[in-house]
Chains A and B, each alone.
Chain A
Amino acid sequence: MTLTIEARGLTKRFGKKTALDGLSLEVESGQVVAVLGPNGAGKTTFVRSVSTLIRPEEGELKVCGYDVRREAESVRRVIGLAGQYAAVDQALSGRENLVLVARLFGQSAKQAKANAEAVLELFGLVEAADRLVRTYSGGMRRKLDLGASLVSQPRLLILDEPTTGLDPRSRLDLWDAIEALVERGTDVLLTTQYLDEADRLARNIVIIDQGRTVASGTPAELKRRIGGKILEVHVRDRAHIPLVAQALTREGVAAPEIDESTRRISVGADDGAAQWLIDGLTAVRDSGAVLADIAVREPSLDEVFLALTGQKTSSAESVGAATLETA
């Protein structure tokens, strides 16, 4: 199996700050991988290393088999980068932007024009193609930027926080566009702060924190890492929260998570803990709290993330809400 990305012991410091601290990870070809981590975890530094924009000081990094330091030119031929900013020219039209990038890749004028047209069609930008980009919405600019990274037919598409700062509608739109690419067989490396984005787009997730890989696997595998199930109790009266929390507190188990605003108390159950669940439920019944609902469910990636990094993500609740509205 060929590896699209192979990183071993990557280290990069900026002055006294260590951005990458011995990061290792492997990405097999034919995959969409999301690198997930809190702000400052080293996501952007990693992506910039893969894109040959910065050189790691130590360790080894190969992209599609090429060493980023010794064979940067070869790496640049096989990647397409869409960064955090829409790197398109505001004073050019959408079509002109795409043609320019294609021609810089050495394509003939005719070839560049045809490829620009194909990208415009792919992203539904045909009608806006001849308008100047400064008249585009934020979402359209990102799509065009994504398109510009595609005119060279890269083997690996690198997306650095592609939807950060977009409104929910544009975000869904861009997700659709990325999914369409994945179906065509482009490998994608994606960084994001949003778990729902990683969950939706990526088959594999790498969680990094403080410049190291903390965990990796499919969303399902990661959810299994923090143990079996989550018991979640929803009370009617806010005053009853402490009763339930008290009932669910056990020696050797993480303290229950309390969400005051939704009056929910949740606690993780260890693997195969049928007995534990029964005991927990009994304790809740005996506590005298009035319950609105009770559920046993799979952990969310948010909870995985919290367990692995000790930090909450900026999981976009507003995006979740918008998903419902537009669905």
Chain B
Amino acid sequence: MTTLTPTIRTGRAGIVTGTGLLAKRTTVTFLRRPELVVLSLVQMSAIMLTFRFIFGGAIGTAHGLPYVDFSVPGFITAGVLFQTLGTAIGIAEDMEQGFIDRLRSMPFSTAAMLTGRVVADTGILAIVLAVTTAVGFAVGFRLQASVLGGLEAFGLCLVFGLAFSWLFIAVGLLAGNVKAAQGVSMIVFIVTFASSAYVPTQTMPGWLRAFAENQPVTAMANAVRSLTLGSHSQAFLGHGPGHFVIRSLFWAVGILVAFSVISVAKFRRAAG
């Protein structure tokens, strides 16, 4: 029989190796669960098709901006939240199944456990967003600004994704089990609907409009719009890309800092 190599008692993987190993594990695990892959790819496309072809005709937009051009950037932005919601469920699953306890009982960097997941989930998000974008083009969306603007918008979505991954890590850790984490998806529905992601906020009642216009999803959806539609959207949105991009970056950085601090604290705390 082979014997265990007896030279390894004092080892631990450094933060870079650890992040890499856990990112690979998260990615492989995702790809081997067809139900998750299909859900991720179909979910946003299905919502997009529904709005484009069923509700789209009835939703009026102004200033000559067709609904498809208005809405596709919104769907892609909302897609960031729906996809990173999976991070909360993944973390809750790892807690429920004892995987996190195992890692925490090892001489191993706390940060790597979380960064590994964030790196993997942001990578997966990039693929899912690319598919959503392709579907957007297929249903009639056209880039009206420069290609560079389009790429900037895509990059901005990944920055939101990074921020929201940390938010959902905190949610997963606080929920502690998969059922509770899934309950949070209701909030994602509310936050994306009560924003400019799917429909213009102008027709909402005052109180809702006040909320919708001052929450991150609206800032981000409008930033993606300005970057992809250029001057075409400025008349409609009232501001240029700079205004929305800066606003949404403020949101992203705020969310990232706040929730990474919460996540690490919650993770470190040796709670029962």
Cβ of A118 < 8 Å from any Cβ of B?
yes
How far, in Å, is B86 (CB) from chain A's closest CB? 14
Are A107 and B11 in contact, CB atoms less than 8 angstroms apart?
yes
How many angstroms between the C-alpha atoms of A19 and B33 in the bound complex? 39
For chain A, the count of residues having a C-beta within 8 Å of the partner chain is 50
Cβ of B18 < 8 Å from any Cβ of A?
yes
How far, in Å, is B68 (CB) from chain A's closest CB? 37
Cβ of B186 < 8 Å from any Cβ of A?
no
Are A79 and B105 in contact, CB atoms less than 8 angstroms apart?
yes
Are A78 and B270 in contact, CB atoms less than 8 angstroms apart?
no
Q: Which residue of B has the minimal Cβ distance to A107? A: B8
Q: Which A269-326 residues have a C-beta within 8 angstroms of B? A: none
Are A92 and B29 in contact, CB atoms less than 8 angstroms apart?
yes
Cβ of B265 < 8 Å from any Cβ of A?
no
How many angstroms between the C-alpha atoms of A79 and B2 in the bound complex? 22
Q: Which residue of A has the minimal Cβ distance to B7? A: A111
Q: Which residue of A has the minimal Cβ distance to B100? A: A87
* A residues less than 8 Å from B104 (CB atoms): 52-53
For chain B, the count of residues having a C-beta within 8 Å of the partner chain is 38
**Known interface pairs A92-B29, A117-B2. Does A14 touch B8 (Cβ–Cβ under 8 Å)?**
no
How many angstroms between the C-alpha atoms of A79 and B7 in the bound complex? 15
Task: Flag B22-34 by CB within 8 Å of A: 1 or 0 each.
Answer: 1001001100110
* B residues less than 8 Å from A104 (CB atoms): 12-13, 18, 21-22, 103, 106, 108
Cβ of B98 < 8 Å from any Cβ of A?
yes
How many angstroms between the C-alpha atoms of A153 and B11 in the bound complex? 11
* B residues less than 8 Å from A91 (CB atoms): 28-29, 32-33
How many angstroms between the C-alpha atoms of A297 and B4 in the bound complex? 45
How many angstroms between the C-alpha atoms of A51 and B13 in the bound complex? 19
* B residues less than 8 Å from A121 (CB atoms): 1-2
Are B11 and A52 in contact, CB atoms less than 8 angstroms apart?
no
**Known interface pairs A106-B11, A107-B8, A115-B4. Does A52 touch B270 (Cβ–Cβ under 8 Å)?**
yes
Are B21 and A105 in contact, CB atoms less than 8 angstroms apart?
no
How far, in Å, is A301 (CB) from chain B's closest CB? 29
Q: Which B230-272 residues have a C-beta within 8 angstroms of A? A: 270-272
Task: Flag B66-94 by CB within 8 Å of A: 1 or 0 each.
Answer: 00000000000000000000000000000
* A residues less than 8 Å from B8 (CB atoms): 105-107, 111, 115, 152-153
Q: Which A99-132 residues have a C-beta within 8 angstroms of B? A: 100-101, 103-107, 111, 114-115, 117-119, 121-122, 132
How many angstroms between the C-alpha atoms of A54 and B22 in the bound complex? 23
How many angstroms between the C-alpha atoms of A88 and B93 in the bound complex? 11
How many angstroms between the C-alpha atoms of A72 and B179 in the bound complex? 32
How many angstroms between the C-alpha atoms of A302 and B266 in the bound complex? 41
Are B3 and A76 in contact, CB atoms less than 8 angstroms apart?
no
Q: Which B36-89 residues have a C-beta within 8 angstroms of A? A: none
Are B28 and A92 in contact, CB atoms less than 8 angstroms apart?
yes
How many angstroms between the C-alpha atoms of A74 and B8 in the bound complex? 14
How many angstroms between the C-alpha atoms of A121 and B22 in the bound complex? 25
Are A148 and B102 in contact, CB atoms less than 8 angstroms apart?
yes
How many angstroms between the C-alpha atoms of A119 and B11 in the bound complex? 18
Cβ of A240 < 8 Å from any Cβ of B?
no
Are A101 and B102 in contact, CB atoms less than 8 angstroms apart?
yes
**Known interface pairs A77-B10, A84-B98, A91-B28. Does A52 touch B105 (Cβ–Cβ under 8 Å)?**
yes
30 contacts between A and B (CB under 8 A): A19-B272, A51-B101, A53-B104, A54-B270, A54-B272, A55-B270, A74-B107, A76-B105, A77-B10, A77-B107, A78-B9, A83-B98, A84-B98, A87-B97, A87-B98, A87-B99, A91-B29, A91-B32, A91-B33, A100-B21, A106-B8, A106-B13, A114-B5, A115-B8, A118-B2, A118-B3, A151-B4, A152-B11, A153-B6, A153-B8
Interface on A for B, CB 8 Å cutoff?
12, 14, 19, 45, 48, 51-55, 73-74, 76-79, 81, 83-89, 91-92, 96, 100-101, 103-107, 111, 114-115, 117-119, 121-122, 132, 148-153, 155
Rank and list the top 4 A-B pairs by shortest CB-CB distance, nearest first: A106-B11, A87-B98, A85-B98, A76-B107
Given contacts A85-B96, A105-B11, A117-B2, 7 further A-B contacts (CB under 8 A): A52-B270, A77-B10, A77-B12, A81-B102, A107-B11, A114-B2, A149-B102
